[in-house]
Chains A and B, each alone.
Chain A
């Protein structure tokens, strides 16, 4: 990547960083980018399985100026990691805006609301609401789960805090958190009709941006988007399409095995035949981005490169996403 481009972006992001640090009431940077009509680019930072703050800071620096915000995962795959809120705070100290992921697996409504009051007080403004991977997948399968509320109830609770200035119990909050509320959607999970109803409910509950499951089957995604447009949902929430970058044949084969993933065989074959699987993985991601961004109603791309975060800057530059807008 050209140094000038990166520097230019860092400079433009400086104002955003000050705002992030001071926790003013203004909209999040991501929200502003989207509302200004720009095509957003987000990526992910997985906090470390340790108390290493520098690890998080370095990851943030690698993405600074390249993305509009970075999701900070919440003990993903139910493996114990640094808290998403703490890591998000570290990320914002570096000037990069964070999207705090919040799952319903580990906290009851008391802890969730308390943690989110704290998050907002620390200047974190975006929250992505999720059910959370079941603890049986993680490294503490012996643990008790919570699921006091589900992800739709969480979205609704955050909307209630913001719009009605009340807690889940209906009691008023003097200084409510006013998050830019996000949710996930999986256009490929079944049963299709029920998953769509659930997606509609998330938007009705108050989700203003939607990050989708990783897309490989563009045709199927385009059909899903057609339905989204027909219902006018793309005007109620910003649809950010998920892209996963695979490093190897093994990686894409494992992706295919994940529940709710639709990976056409052609991509597996291409990876198997490729002289350089890494380059092929990048090419596939770039082709998908190129096709997906043309679909009406898609307002951004969310890049997930689990275990290969170093490729994200390459993808962003080669996809022509730079410079990022200053808003």
Chain B
């Protein structure tokens, strides 16, 4: 899923300053799972914003809407009537959601309520970790299902740097060394020979370095 976290209320309240009536748009998918921008978080944030503005004696009218996903146009059509006369939309979607909402509701400012962090997994209750950078050319078959691009701080392709210590990355003892994970996994699978291959430089065109990307599945394109 796409993992995000909510911006501080103080930051959000600043850029809502000139509005008196807004819609907070939750998103029912990834950010609901990572507890950043689901309906529950949207309702809580809406209350916090109302209280802050009451303290300033400038009440803010806040309506909460929850499309199933902000990244699919059909779900945005569903909420169009609810947005109605709101002056602005605070999107609790990921960066894609915010931008798609802005495309759909052209006449209104759409503002971000979250900081989008990464593609990851729920590691534990309330803990999410990064697993994929969407580099566009997966090599997990060679590395025991552990991604060196994402999980090595230097995206090394040919083993760990000298900073791997007791299985941890030198930049932060809270981060596992990606190459230790790869090694452990390949060893357990009896596939250590994979590590002897000198992996050539990656073609980064498949990644962000090739410019904004597009995927087309020809057979379903109308």
A residues near B (Cβ < 8 Å) are 104-105, 109, 131-134, 136-137, 145, 147-153, 156-157, 168, 184, 186, 189-191, 193-195, 197-198, 200-201, 204-205, 213, 259-260
Contacts and interface: CB of A to CB of B under 8 A. Distances in A.
A156 B162 contact: no
18 contacts: A131-B161, A131-B162, A134-B171, A137-B171, A147-B155, A153-B198, A153-B201, A168-B201, A189-B164, A195-B160, A195-B164, A197-B159, A198-B160, A201-B159, A204-B198, A213-B162, A259-B163, A259-B170
B63 to A, nearest CB: 38
Nearest to A185: B162
B166 to A, nearest CB: 7
Contacts of A200: 196
Would you call the interface of chain B mostly helix, strand, loop, or mixed? Answer: loop
A197 B165 CA distance: 16
Interface of B: 153-167, 170-172, 179-180, 183, 192, 195-196, 198-202, 204
Nearest to B187: A193
Contact of A109 (B158, B163, B183, B201): B201
Contact of A201 (B180, B196, B204): B196
Residue among B154, B156, B179 facing the most chain A CB atoms (10 A cut-off): B154
A186 B159 CA distance: 13
A150 B148 CA distance: 11
A226 to B, nearest CB: 21
Please name the 10 residue pairs, one residue from A and one from B, whose CB atoms are nearest each other, closest first: A198-B159, A259-B165, A152-B158, A131-B161, A259-B170, A194-B183, A150-B156, A186-B162, A149-B201, A147-B155
Contact of B162 (A147, A191, A259): A259
B154 A131 contact: yes
Given A131-B162, A149-B201, A104 B154 contact: yes
Contacts of A148: 201-202, 204
A260 B162 contact: yes
Contacts of B199: 152-153
Nearest to A136: B171
Nearest to B165: A259
Contacts of A201: 158-159, 196, 198
B165 A147 contact: no
Nearest to A260: B162
A189 B158 CA distance: 15
Nearest to A149: B201
Residue among B162, B164, B165, B202 facing the most chain A CB atoms (10 A cut-off): B162
Contact of A134 (B154, B160, B179, B201): B154
A204 B158 CA distance: 12
